[in-house]
A and B are shown apart, each in its own frame.
Chain A
Amino acid sequence: MPILDFLLPKNAKKQKVILLGSGALSIGQAGEFDYSGSQAVKALEEEGLEVTIINPNIASVQTNKGLNKRVYLYPITPFWVEKIIKIEKPTAIISSFGGQTSLNCVIGLAKKGILDKYSVKVLGTQVDALEISEDRKLFAEKMKSINAPIAESHAVSTVSEALKTAEKIGYPVITRSAFALGGLGSGLSETATELRKLTQTALMSSPQVLIEKSLHGWKEIEYEVMRDKSGNTITICNMENFDPMGIHTGDSVVVAPCQTINNIENNMLRDTAIKIAQSLDIVGECNVQYALNPKDYSFYVIEINARLSRSSALASKATGYPIAYIAAKIVIGFDLLELKNPVTGTTSAFYEPSLDYVTLKVPRWDLDKFSEVSKNLGTQMKSVGEVMAIGRSFCEVLQKALRMVNENEDGITVNVFKNTSDEILEKELLTPTNLRIFAIYETFKRGKTLDYVYEKTKIDYWFLSHVLYLANVETELLDFFKPKVKKDNITAQEIYNSYKLITKDKLQRLKSKGFSDFQLTKIYLSACLNSKIKLTIKEVRSLSFSIRELRKKLGILPFVKQIDTTSSEYPTKSNYLYLTYNSIHSDLFTKKNEKSIITLGSGSYRIGSSLEFDWCSVMASGYFKNKKNDSVIINCNPETVSTDYNASDRLYFEELSFERVLDIVDIEDPKGVIACMGGQNPNNLIQPLSEAKVNILGHSQKSVDKAEDREKFSAMLDDLGIDQPEWISAVSLSDIEGFIKRVGFPVLIRPSFVLSGTLMNAANDQESLDYYLSLTKDISADSPVVISKFILDAKEIECDGIAKDGEVILSLISEHIENAGVHSGDATMVFPAQKIYVHTVNVIRDIVREITKGLNLNGPFNIQFIAKDNDVKVIECNARASRSFPFISKVSGINLAELACKVMNDEKVKKILIDESEIHHIGVKASMFSFQRLDGADPVVGVEMASTGEVGCLGEKFNHALLLSMESTQVKRPKKGILLSTGREKDKVKFMEVVDNLYKLAVPIYATKGSAKYLKSRGYEVNTVHWNRSPRAVDVISGGKVDFVININKNLSVDELHDNSEIRKMAVKCGCSILTNLEKVIAYLKACDSYEELQDIENCISL
């Protein structure tokens, strides 16, 4: 019997298994666990088990309701899991599909004896092995016992021990902290001073720090291992980091399979990986990381993860082998031999995939969103997302991946370092940042050698030689096209003729090396067009169409290949596809009779576009898959559920670029394309695709344009008599002056798009306005600055809904806890809204009706409002599915994404009238910030979005939902003490509303001077702290006297922000809970009244 005895149905009743999720997305723990968890749920349900999911991440696919599934949106802590165990009485718990969070939780449950108490068995790898894998000292001992080499390393728990150890093993040394995800508190120290600083920080969040010999310049290599209870073991995939040791794997460019190691090295590392899995009695999946000496055959084991990981998700997508799905079958008792390889359907799951293509992962950083954060990469992970490219040459995947990750179409030829001096360029090579690959490219373009770049970067010659090759190609093309005199105007015909001159063979070669039509056009333009003339992306794109025409005429087209795990050794029906120019023949794949519907996914996760848009894409593709339509997905993000080939009838793991989507449209000849479910990234393609005569389902291009074009939208609102905050699009400083004179401060400043993304700021006075304007390059007709009136003390309200032919089908209203001014992606959202006047609701519904009519919307939308008293203004309208769709859907019980698909598919839908007051529970969506990973970032929330993830919790009372969502986003009830600074006089007064709640928490209160004085004058006892003299505010934090920091800005002036930022940064460094928004503080402190009541609750709410 494959399935374990105790999991078999008892008295015809299915057995229950708890599966822990990973909570909110944060740096180091992102969407990959929704993919793993969703696959596990499928695998478990197939075997007749009932799954209980505990995960507050409401935007995840795994927290969707299901037939054999119960979903609890609760914090993943032993306390809450125990409560749910009491309710559900599960037979077993699975820890390995929810990242570090779930692993730590299960270790906690075991240590507290909770699992024994309720006889809940841990499935898969057992807790003692998990502990060995997590405790670096135990791990080192284990590795020694099986003769697996590990770098000389020592666990220390004090700074002086650390210094002594470093003396012994010699600098440079690496410090790593135990029990931490994403390498938190890790770093390289070249000197004792650096080490002292680093260990001090690390020891604050971890009891143990490891000091290791630095392996700078060694190759970093990983193996994914699968092992069943009988000991059958395979390695699914190996992966190699483009960047050598020293940069966190999560921040490294990663190639799979390994490219620069030979058969001897491969099997040496593979053998060790299998030996390690055996020694720890792994049942399921584990990942082993190595450092490999580039100069001889020596190596070290760096660490293992005895669970599914970011790398295992990547390996699944790279090979097609569904690691999490198979691992889930294994943990419930199957042997690998009892399972089939799901990709072939006929061969054994005991199989190591063979690839006939190469994949490349490139991380996505959003460091520009944080003004003060260091851009340097090191052993602490900073990236917020990733993409993966598949192709048949390294140049092809490198180019594809670099285009995928930055949603502009420039890729490696973007020329960010064109005007950089040689000295600075050299520094970029020596000190890696998120832009190093572009610096390498530029260095080669300036004629430097492979040896030169290798010496600076230690990146393997093999990788570098491909970058060099591409740089040479560009240089050569520039030479080839170079005219005698540059022109002021270039026509499409000229580009067509010039590339025709290159000859078919060479153009084919350029395409097979990954150059896009857009890039080729840009190269031509930079060779021939007067450099003073700047063309917009739209103009370049339109010129690039000439190369597409030329290619089609010459028959230079990409071909479709399947990912089949066997390199074609066996025939396959695989629906997992990619496109390549290194081919002359497409693999055959089956289509349904109906024409296909293509859903465009969201691309890389990033700040502002994350899991929630993958949820929307998965819902859309699932909807069409279940209908008789042929459902197709295009996406390039390996962390997602949408790139699980089960989510659609066909998955193109491809670029979401104009060129590539058109290629796929040419191949598919679809009924239509859905671009409004994957967030802004695919939404931006609506205009060019419509112009290329592609049928876009849902809103027309005209509607989208009218909603997105500020001028047009604003004019429409004026026509309809709908109020909006005053704004101008300033093309000169005098424009701005005039505007300020008219409306006064504060104002919002939004510069035009720059490569790094927008930097939006709020200015309170002339000084801060000048400062923020100085950050933007120039103000001109080409790059205007949008300035709008910033309305203080106003509520922000959102309406999510669906419209059909301009008529509202459904609209649901939610409110923010924070006043307007906090980006809607960072704000805490309440649904159904609790504190809006009935009149306001009515006004909003009227406005929604008029806007949908005015824009003639036909699909999903989201409209944002601000309301002060009964005065309602419209901020913006998104003619697409919004970030809050999964939250609103799950709380209301109406699946907005599916409803949107019905409308877009032209099916009959009835108007849904819903009385929001009849929704039983209150949902609170809160944002998760990853400031702890971003050294130097100021953890203040404002108009620019900074959060990396979100949770949504339910409660019968608002207070309960709020407390749960706060706990799930690491805002924990204070235990040691609170540091207070309450901002403006007005805020101090307002704060008095909750001051008694604060003191009820019964912990010492510290306050900065002004706040302390205010409290004392009203008879409250408080410890005063100072900026510059003892007791200093920052010392109180670093000394561990407080674990909760409330820090409200006085105003938006630059100085004020700087002063307080020291406190906030220290709070983040020391792992304190931190709140910086007054309304949120008030709501939280009020909710704390219900803390005991919530703790005593017996009935947790399930979906």
Chain B
Amino acid sequence: MSAKKRILTRAKECKKAYLELSNGIKFEGSSIGANVSVSGEMVFNTGMLGYSEAMTDPSYLGQILVFSFCLIGNYGIPSYKNKDFFMSKGHESSSIKTQGIIVSDIYDGCHHHDGGISLENWMRDQDVPGIAGIDTRYLVQIIRDNGSIFGKIVSEDAKPQDKSKFEFLRNFNNSEYVDPSKYNLMPSISTPRKVTMGNGSKKVAIVDCGAKLNIMRMLVERGCEVELLPWDSDFSEIQCDGWIISNGPGDPENTGGLVESIKKHVLVSGKPILGICLGHQLLSLASGAKTKRLNHGHRSHNQPVFSIPEKKAYMTSQNHRYAVEKNSIQPDWELWFENANDDSVEGIKHKTKPFMSVQFHPEASSGPNDTAWIMDKFVNLL
């Protein structure tokens, strides 16, 4: 408890930790969470809330996440009230997916009515390290200005990371800076076996590329039966009323044969399809469009997108580095959403068929719910 934290003694208690960046800059702070050394791609999120959602978001796999907001951990970690697959809100998967986190000031307590444990205890339980006391604003500027940058969290007598945690870690060498998007991350993050949940008259198949739980929650709430499929399933055998190609980590072009099987088995089905984030990129690739790597991507709760047919703007939650190239959109598809800040592609729609995909997260969690109507729209098409 923070009450016992003492300024003159605490410095002795808390171990120093260092963030070493691939450009040679080194930050000093204090170790939080587990005393483990990790490496990963440096990314930042400017959302002011939702650290538990972000840390469990599978799209952050292989990354060290910097929270630009200065106070993290204030309301603890939502407790796992529901023991079922969905867990409770506030968790987007069953465990922390980030390699580690970097914060300015951490609150090591938990007083929120929905808080189970403190952020630090949760990180310790899950063997995830972090550093506090970092000038996150400066760090964000370095990441922003360098585009791709990688980092290592190191501290004295830290354990090496348990490589069995995720499949892709087998390739990671602790002494190197590793770019996770060089690997196909699907085997690490997709469900190993088919999972079915909810019951309803309409059946939705989700291609699990690292799907956030809230996508499933929203579909079940809307009366759907949901089938979560391993990424390498034979989609031709699936019986369903519509498809969701989920969000997930990594480079869309580095996903094994996934694009091909979406093209062959999902697109041809003619059933309604919704692509979200990585799923949007995969669907676009399958449609013949191209993707590109953005400088530092969009990771925040305040990305403004503009709906071209509606002439209306929405606030969205985003987490991606890759985007669809605008001039590569195929003639039978059209631009649906555009980013109001940098004009990048935020969504495309098929001109005649019920195919649509969005770069942002209509399932939010964390972030604004303003585009939840896209889920309604999708379910109504089924």
A447-468 with Cβ < 8 A to chain B: 449-450, 460-462, 465, 468
Interface membership of B319, Cβ < 8 A? no
Extra 18 A-B pairs, beta carbons < 8 Å, given A465-B3, A469-B2, A473-B7: A258-B49, A259-B71, A262-B52, A262-B78, A350-B340, A354-B69, A394-B105, A449-B3, A461-B109, A461-B111, A462-B74, A480-B8, A561-B137, A566-B46, A567-B46, A567-B300, A582-B135, A585-B138
When distances are taken between beta carbons in the complex, the residues of chain B under 8 Å from A571 are 144
When distances are taken between beta carbons in the complex, the residues of chain A under 8 Å from B7 are 469, 472-473, 476, 506, 509-510, 513
Interface membership of B177, Cβ < 8 A? no
Contact status B48-A257, CB under 8 Å? yes
B144-170 with Cβ < 8 A to chain A: 144
Interface string of B1-44 (1 = CB under 8 A from A): 01101111101000000000000000100000000000000000
Number of cross-chain contacts by CB at 8 Å: 186
Interface membership of A632, Cβ < 8 A? no
Interface membership of A854, Cβ < 8 A? no
A584 is contacted by which of B49, B135, B315, B341 (Cβ under 8 Å)?
Answer: B135
Interface membership of B304, Cβ < 8 A? yes
Contact status B301-A259, CB under 8 Å? no
Q: Tell me the bound Cα distance from A326 to B313 in angstroms.
A: 16
When distances are taken between beta carbons in the complex, the residues of chain B under 8 Å from A348 are 304, 313, 340-341
Interface membership of A230, Cβ < 8 A? yes
Interface membership of A531, Cβ < 8 A? no
Nearest CB on A from B79, distance (A)? 12
Nearest CB on B from A318, distance (A)? 12
When distances are taken between beta carbons in the complex, the residues of chain B under 8 Å from A553 are none
Listed A/B pairs (22) with beta-carbon separation below 8 Å: A230-B311, A258-B49, A261-B49, A262-B112, A264-B114, A266-B49, A267-B366, A267-B367, A348-B340, A350-B304, A350-B315, A356-B70, A358-B71, A449-B3, A450-B3, A465-B107, A472-B5, A476-B9, A567-B140, A570-B144, A571-B144, A587-B137
B105 is contacted by which of A266, A449, A582 (Cβ under 8 Å)?
Answer: A582
A468: nearest residue on chain B (CB-CB)?
B3
When distances are taken between beta carbons in the complex, the residues of chain A under 8 Å from B364 are 267
Contact status B368-A267, CB under 8 Å? yes
A567 is contacted by which of B50, B69, B89, B341 (Cβ under 8 Å)?
Answer: B69
Contact status A270-B71, CB under 8 Å? no
Interface string of A573-595 (1 = CB under 8 A from B): 00000000011110100000000
Given contacts A263-B49, A568-B141, contact A354 B75 (CB under 8 A): no
Contact status A263-B365, CB under 8 Å? yes
Q: Tell me the bound Cα distance from A356 to B302 in angstroms.
A: 14
Spell out B's residues near A (CB within 8 Å): 2-3, 5-9, 11, 27, 46-50, 52-53, 68-71, 74-75, 78, 89-90, 104-105, 107, 109, 111-115, 135-138, 140-141, 144, 300-302, 304, 306, 311-313, 315, 340-341, 364-370
Q: Tell me the bound Cα distance from A263 to B70 in angstroms.
A: 16
Contact status B46-A569, CB under 8 Å? yes
Q: Tell me the bound Cα distance from A257 to B369 in angstroms.
A: 19
Contact status A337-B135, CB under 8 Å? no
Nearest CB on B from A515, distance (A)? 10
B114 is contacted by which of A262, A353, A354 (Cβ under 8 Å)?
Answer: A262
When distances are taken between beta carbons in the complex, the residues of chain A under 8 Å from B75 are 260-262, 462
Contact status B74-A356, CB under 8 Å? no
When distances are taken between beta carbons in the complex, the residues of chain B under 8 Å from A263 are 49-50, 52-53, 90, 365-367
Contact status A462-B107, CB under 8 Å? yes
Contact status A347-B341, CB under 8 Å? yes
When distances are taken between beta carbons in the complex, the residues of chain B under 8 Å from A295 are 113
A223-275 with Cβ < 8 A to chain B: 230-232, 234, 257-264, 266-267, 270-271, 274
Q: Tell me the bound Cα distance from A451 to B6 in angstroms.
A: 19
Q: Tell me the bound Cα distance from A270 to B113 in angstroms.
A: 20
Chain A CB within 10 Å, residue with most, of B48, B301, B315: B48
Chain B CB within 10 Å, residue with most, of A274, A337, A392, A568: A568
Contact status B315-A352, CB under 8 Å? yes
* Top-9 shortest CB links A-B: A461-B111, A263-B50, A348-B340, A567-B46, A585-B138, A263-B366, A567-B68, A354-B46, A352-B302
Contact status A260-B74, CB under 8 Å? yes
Nearest CB on B from A2, distance (A)? 13
Q: Tell me the bound Cα distance from A233 to B157 in angstroms.
A: 51
A393 is contacted by which of B105, B115, B137 (Cβ under 8 Å)?
Answer: B105
Interface membership of A1002, Cβ < 8 A? no
B51: nearest residue on chain A (CB-CB)?
A263
Q: Tell me the bound Cα distance from A582 to B104 in angstroms.
A: 8
A394: nearest residue on chain B (CB-CB)?
B71
A356 is contacted by which of B69, B109, B114, B369 (Cβ under 8 Å)?
Answer: B69
Nearest CB on A from B134, distance (A)? 9
Contact status B11-A356, CB under 8 Å? no
Spell out A's residues near B (CB within 8 Å): 230-232, 234, 257-264, 266-267, 270-271, 274, 294-297, 336-337, 346-348, 350-358, 392-394, 449-450, 460-462, 465, 468-469, 472-473, 476-477, 480, 502, 505-506, 509-510, 513, 559, 561, 566-571, 582-585, 587
When distances are taken between beta carbons in the complex, the residues of chain B under 8 Å from A337 are 304, 306, 313, 340
B341: nearest residue on chain A (CB-CB)?
A347
Contact status A569-B140, CB under 8 Å? yes
Given contacts A348-B304, A472-B6, A585-B135, contact A259 B312 (CB under 8 A): no
Q: Tell me the bound Cα distance from A465 to B111 in angstroms.
A: 10
Nearest CB on B from A1070, distance (A)? 45
When distances are taken between beta carbons in the complex, the residues of chain B under 8 Å from A297 are 114
Contact status B71-A393, CB under 8 Å? yes
Contact status B46-A350, CB under 8 Å? no
Contact status A569-B144, CB under 8 Å? yes
Chain A CB within 10 Å, residue with most, of B9, B49, B144: B49
Q: Tell me the bound Cα distance from A160 to B208 in angstroms.
A: 64
Contact status A568-B48, CB under 8 Å? no
Contact status A356-B313, CB under 8 Å? no
A475: nearest residue on chain B (CB-CB)?
B6
B4: nearest residue on chain A (CB-CB)?
A472
When distances are taken between beta carbons in the complex, the residues of chain B under 8 Å from A393 are 70-71, 104-105
When distances are taken between beta carbons in the complex, the residues of chain A under 8 Å from B306 are 337
Contact status B136-A230, CB under 8 Å? no
When distances are taken between beta carbons in the complex, the residues of chain B under 8 Å from A510 are 7
When distances are taken between beta carbons in the complex, the residues of chain A under 8 Å from B304 are 337, 348, 350-351
Nearest CB on B from A504, distance (A)? 11
Nearest CB on B from A581, distance (A)? 11
Given contacts A461-B111, A469-B2, A502-B8, contact A356 B53 (CB under 8 A): no
A337: nearest residue on chain B (CB-CB)?
B313
Q: Tell me the bound Cα distance from A259 to B76 in angstroms.
A: 12
Q: Tell me the bound Cα distance from A968 to B11 in angstroms.
A: 60
Q: Tell me the bound Cα distance from A760 to B302 in angstroms.
A: 53
Given contacts A353-B302, A393-B105, A461-B109, contact A259 B74 (CB under 8 A): yes
A472: nearest residue on chain B (CB-CB)?
B6
Q: Tell me the bound Cα distance from A465 to B46 in angstroms.
A: 25
When distances are taken between beta carbons in the complex, the residues of chain B under 8 Å from A346 are 341
Nearest CB on B from A479, distance (A)? 9
B108: nearest residue on chain A (CB-CB)?
A465
When distances are taken between beta carbons in the complex, the residues of chain A under 8 Å from B6 are 472-473, 476
Given contacts A263-B365, A569-B140, contact A231 B315 (CB under 8 A): no
When distances are taken between beta carbons in the complex, the residues of chain B under 8 Å from A347 are 340-341
Contact status A583-B302, CB under 8 Å? no
When distances are taken between beta carbons in the complex, the residues of chain A under 8 Å from B48 are 257, 354-355
Contact status A392-B109, CB under 8 Å? no
When distances are taken between beta carbons in the complex, the residues of chain A under 8 Å from B9 are 476
Nearest CB on B from A288, distance (A)? 15
Given contacts A350-B304, A351-B302, contact A296 B137 (CB under 8 A): no
Q: Tell me the bound Cα distance from A513 to B2 in angstroms.
A: 14
Nearest CB on B from A320, distance (A)? 13
Q: Tell me the bound Cα distance from A1026 to B16 in angstroms.
A: 78
When distances are taken between beta carbons in the complex, the residues of chain B under 8 Å from A358 are 70-71
When distances are taken between beta carbons in the complex, the residues of chain B under 8 Å from A587 are 137, 141
Given contacts A262-B112, A356-B69, contact A232 B312 (CB under 8 A): yes
